Amino acid sequence: PETEEVVEAVLSEAERVFPGIDRLKAVDVGTGSGAIAVTLALESPRFSVTATDISEQALSTARHNADRLGAKVDFIGGDLLEPLITRQKKADVIVSNPPYISEEDMKTLSDVVRLHEPAGALTDGADGLQFYKRFMKEIPFVIADQALVVFEIGWTQGNAVKDMFHRFFPDADVRVKKDLNGKDRIVCAVIEQHHS
């Protein structure tokens, strides 16, 4: 269900931020099984979707899912935004559901989740915010003039991630959206890149 909410957020925010633009380059970072990338590609023809993951296994699963559902997604292996940076590819929309569970919270996770998902897909082995920090440093290299960034977050991380955006991108328009249970779940940020 969270994935659907992330996709919904991307679609509605993209309407608002890029009205009347036919083609948008979207990248799903750390795509995992490809759920977000595949759904975006199928839901909206205006998105040309690229998906990255550091895990070859994840990419082959994601490719298989995209083929099965007839979704046109370009898959690239690599760490976070690195594959885009090295290829000098730009993105209008960056979406990610990174590993955001802190080492502390991993202990309280249900066995169902903990034992069936690779740990690297769940936790950063630290405070749960490491991936967002890395994103802040890499985002400027992959955005053209304006970008929409949509992150799924842990329900206690809304303010931390919002503050991080404001620290790195003082002019960003940042919104924290709640999930169906009324908990913070998604952070959307619109960033303008000022070229000197």
pTM equals: 0.89
* Bridge partners (DSSP) listed for residue 28: 51, 95
The total of other beta-carbon atoms located within 10 Å of residue 30's CB is: 21
Order of all β-strands in the sheet with 91-96: 73-77, 47-53, 24-29, 91-96, 143-152, 184-192, 173-178
Residue that has been written with the tokens 């790195």 in this structure? 168
Q: Please compute the mean of the pLDDT values over residues 39-61 and round it to a whole number.
A: 94
Tens digits of per-residue pLDDT, 74-132? 999 999 899 999 999 999 999 998 765 666 665 665 666 655 666 566 555 666 677 78
pLDDT at 108: 65
Over the chain, what is the mean pLDDT?
87
Helix, strand counts (H, E) of the chain? 9, 7
pLDDT at 89: 94
pLDDT at 23: 93
Tens digits of per-residue pLDDT, 153-190? 888 889 999 999 999 999 999 999 998 889 888 999 99
CATH fold label, 2-11+23-192: Rossmann fold (3.40.50)
Q: Percent of the chain scored above 70 by pLDDT?
A: 82
Q: Which DSSP category does 111 fall into?
A: H
CA distance 100 to 76: 22
Those residues whose C-beta lies under 8 Å from the C-beta of residue 134, and which sit 6 or more positions away, are 80
pLDDT at 195: 58
pLDDT at 40: 96
Contacts 24+ apart (CB under 8 A), 175-179: 177/5, 177/9, 179/1, 179/2, 179/5, 179/155
Report CA torsion sign: 171, 173, 178, 179. negative
Q: Which has the closest alpha carbon to 50: 67, 36, 69?
A: 36
pLDDT at 193: 77
Q: Please compute the mean of the pLDDT values over residues 63-81 and round it to a whole number.
A: 96
Domain limits, the chain: 2-11+23-192
Report CA torsion sign: 111, 182, 162, 80. positive
User: According to the 3-state scheme, what is the secondary structure of 69-107?
Assistant: HCCCEEEEECCCCHHHHHHCCCEEEEEECCCCECHHHHC
**Between 38 and 109, the higher pLDDT residue:** 38
Angle at 170 between CA 166 and CA 176, to 5 degrees: 35
